[in-house]
A and B are shown apart, each in its own frame.
Chain A
Amino acid sequence: MSNRSSLGSKLVASPYIVWSVLFIIAPLIFVVYYSFTDASGAFTFENITALSKYTPTFLRSIWFGIVATIICLIIAFPLAYIISQKTEKVQRTMVMLVMLPMWMSFLIRTYSWMALLQDTGIINNLLGKIGIDPIHMINTEGAVILGMVYNFLPYMIMPIYSVMAKLDYSMVEACQDLGGNRLTVVRRCIIPMSMPGIVSGITMVFVPSVSTFYISQKLGGGSFDLIGDVIERQFQQSYNYNLGAALSLVLMVLILISMAVMNRFTGDEEGVVI
């Protein structure tokens, strides 16, 4: 009996196993291989040591990723809570509205932000109509972070919402009965219970923000190179697969470390967060 079921489970899992070996494990091995070889295929550490000059870019990427993640969290948490409190019909509509921008291409959405933000763009035209001097927004750090927040916000809202929608409301009522004011209810009850959603939201926003490449080129005017831009350039422009792979490897390790730190930070949660 147990034999048959384990054979069955292996069979069921096999498409994914084949998939992950072909498209996840094998490429990872290639990344590692390229990182430690030079153009002729000989073993070298040169790619790794050459990375020190990209320290500012790494720092900038991480900082932008942190800021974008915090802003997303600040926007998404109340929104997810509000959605989860509505009737089912309203919830469906609101969730659809959150997802709606994702039906369009990421590239087109970013390109449109360029048209909105530029000095002669729609926002500045409207400001001009009501007599406000144009504000220089495009090609700034703020524009890049705005692009990240806009593009990745749904990835923060959705996991938090899906946890909150299943939240046991009797807990909230119990908290209120015990004399908790609104702030206490949020602090001691809602945040701890939605922690799994918050953690996966942070992961799903931080990782793509750190490694993104298109947003900074279009909204940052190419002046705020993120690590994704540098990697893209190694593969597309310079034909330097080795340096590109080394950069990717270090980026992966950095993301892994930050994820591990975050899991420590939130892992031993048992109720109290703030």
Chain B
Amino acid sequence: MKKRFASVLFALILALLPCVTAVAAEQSEIDALRGTTLYVYNWGEYISDGADDTLDVNAAFEEKYGINVVYETYDNNEVMYSKLKGGGVSYDVVIPSDYMIQRMIAEDMLQPIDFSNIPNYKYIPEKYKNLAHDPKNEFSVPYTVGMVGLIYNTEMVEEAPDSWTALWDENYENSILMFNNPRDAFAIAQSILGMDYNNESEASWRVAAELLKEQKNVSPAYVNDEVFLKMEAGEAAMAPYYAGDFLTMQENNPALDFVYPKEGVNFFVDGACVLKGAKNKLAAELYINFLLEPEVALANAEYICYASPHTEVFNNPEYSFYEDEILYPEDGKFKTQLFLNLNPETLALMSTLWDDVKNYIPSGTGNHDFFFGGSGSAVSTDDGEAMTPEARRYALYIGIFAAVCVAFVIFRYARKKYRENI
């Protein structure tokens, strides 16, 4: 039903198209692809899917070229990477973020795109080309762009924050959310410390980790997608997240507001790529080109709410976010940095430091403890090694439990002996 509706809609759109730019591939080659299958692997909620009378992009593509689209989604770059690396899967098109594109290029997981099949690449403005992750524009075609910022609830903060340090403010204890992934979380600490997000010095990552541990004094909740639920419900006062997602949240809770902190923020570009070993390369390029058709790009931009790197979208006065100050701030108005791929040692370091941050419980906070009452242990606070006061407390509990069990077994044994003797 939905599909039929979409195809009607698509027929209308085709009629409205001023001209459909021809791709370099011969028409016969394209016709030969009818009935084949294209495997697309994209972020969740990252394409207009026909809900609420929007354009169903995949159905429209199937309609136009007769190519079946198998569409699967992932939650984050790392999950996508692990799945591809793990083997046993084969996709044609993936849409990772900048640093992951660079990593996949370095590990020879992508193949160069034949841009003669992507005439719509002309809609991508120069500022999104030649970026450091794909310096020669060989492997990726920008799909969405965006920036991270600080979302806050105007009813819950005393004054509007303008700095990332607001996330360390003890007045907002239990009311702060934080990224639950290392790269984004570290970027916030690095912004405050004035560091480069892509530096590979061990010492500086350790300093940033210390700052993230310090944040535990305000008991932040580490969240992924729950950020929507929590910010919309007024559960938390502040959360760092993507500008595009803020617009979605604000629709449900008008008390929310947004700021790009003065220390600088992460700027990202998600790009469509063709995987090495893609079984249907030409179809993959047709698909990427199709995503850049102005109507399709507009439908996606409206649906995803992220900024679009497409001139025909952001220059279109009918676009809901036309000249939106949050999605499309003036160039250079805010300090931004792109994530780039880190060397394996730094990646491993980041993972272990992140484990440390997650495990760290600051001594002296007893507020987690409605269950056991009091912060338990009064052991000294030298948590340089593995045994933090908290760990000692658990060890103590387990020890008491084990001792009770052992005592019970001994008691029973003794009683049995005693009874046998009478």
What residues of chain A have their CB less than 8 Å away from a CB belonging to chain B? 52-57, 59-60, 62-63, 66, 114-115, 118-121, 135-142, 145, 217-218, 221-225, 229-230, 233-240, 265, 272
- Given A120-B235, A135-B370, verify A222-B351 contact (CB < 8 Å): no
Q: Are A56 and B359 in contact (CB under 8 A)?
A: yes
Q: Are A59 and B395 in contact (CB under 8 A)?
A: yes
Q: Are B174 and A139 in contact (CB under 8 A)?
A: yes
- Given A120-B235, A235-B82, verify A59-B370 contact (CB < 8 Å): no
* A140 CB contact (under 8 Å) in B229, B368, B394: B368
- Given A221-B221, A222-B222, verify A141-B372 contact (CB < 8 Å): yes
Chain A residues contacting B106 (CB-CB under 8 Å) are: none
Q: Are B79 and A66 in contact (CB under 8 A)?
A: no
- Of B11-19, B132-140, B281-289, B382-390, the segment with at least 4 beta carbons within 8 Å of chain A is B382-390
* Per-residue contact bits, chain B 328-371, to A (CB 8 Å; 1 contact, 0 not): 00000000000000000001100110111011010000011111
Q: Are B181 and A237 in contact (CB under 8 A)?
A: yes
With the chains together, A205 CA to B409 CA distance in Å? 22
- Say yes or no for B220: interface residue by CB 8 A criterion: yes
* A53 CB contact (under 8 Å) in B222, B223, B226, B386: B386
Q: List 25 A-B contacts (CB under 8 A).
A: A57-B359, A63-B394, A63-B398, A120-B233, A121-B233, A135-B370, A138-B221, A139-B221, A140-B370, A141-B368, A217-B180, A218-B226, A221-B222, A222-B223, A222-B358, A223-B222, A223-B358, A229-B358, A233-B351, A235-B82, A237-B78, A237-B354, A239-B82, A240-B348, A240-B351
B363-409 contacts to A, CB under 8 A, are 367-372, 386-388, 390-391, 394-395, 397-398, 401, 405, 409
Chain B residues contacting A66 (CB-CB under 8 Å) are: 397-398, 401
Across the A-B interface, the 6 shortest Cβ-Cβ residue pairs: A222-B222, A221-B221, A56-B391, A142-B371, A238-B351, A59-B394
Q: Which residue of B lies closest to A115 (CB)?
A: B229
* B355 CB contact (under 8 Å) in A141, A233, A239, A272: A233
In the complex, what's the smallest C-beta–C-beta distance from B403 to chain A, in angstroms? 13
* A221 CB contact (under 8 Å) in B220, B369, B370, B388: B220
For chain B, the bracket of interface size reads 35 or more
Q: Which residue of A lies closest to B372 (CB)?
A: A141
* B394 CB contact (under 8 Å) in A52, A60, A223: A60
Is the contact region of chain B dominated by helix, strand, or loop, or is it mixed? helix
Chain B residues contacting A221 (CB-CB under 8 Å) are: 219-223
In the complex, what's the smallest C-beta–C-beta distance from B416 to chain A, in angstroms? 8
- Say yes or no for B3: interface residue by CB 8 A criterion: no
Q: Which residue of A lies closest to B394 (CB)?
A: A59
Q: Are B229 and A114 in contact (CB under 8 A)?
A: yes
Chain B residues contacting A56 (CB-CB under 8 Å) are: 359, 386-388, 390-391, 394
With the chains together, A159 CA to B196 CA distance in Å? 57
Q: Are A142 and B78 in contact (CB under 8 A)?
A: no
- Given A63-B397, A118-B230, verify A55-B387 contact (CB < 8 Å): yes
- Say yes or no for B4: interface residue by CB 8 A criterion: no
Chain A residues contacting B82 (CB-CB under 8 Å) are: 235-236, 239
Q: Are A119 and B235 in contact (CB under 8 A)?
A: yes
Q: Are A136 and B174 in contact (CB under 8 A)?
A: yes
- Say yes or no for B81: interface residue by CB 8 A criterion: yes
Q: Are A136 and B391 in contact (CB under 8 A)?
A: no
With the chains together, A62 CA to B78 CA distance in Å? 29
* B356 CB contact (under 8 Å) in A53, A135, A217: A53
- Given A135-B370, A141-B368, A225-B358, verify A236-B398 contact (CB < 8 Å): no
Q: Are A272 and B358 in contact (CB under 8 A)?
A: no
In the complex, what's the smallest C-beta–C-beta distance from A206 to chain B, in angstroms? 12
In the complex, what's the smallest C-beta–C-beta distance from B169 to chain A, in angstroms? 17
In the complex, what's the smallest C-beta–C-beta distance from A121 to chain B, in angstroms? 8
Q: Which residue of B lies closest to A261 (CB)?
A: B405
Q: Are B235 and A239 in contact (CB under 8 A)?
A: no
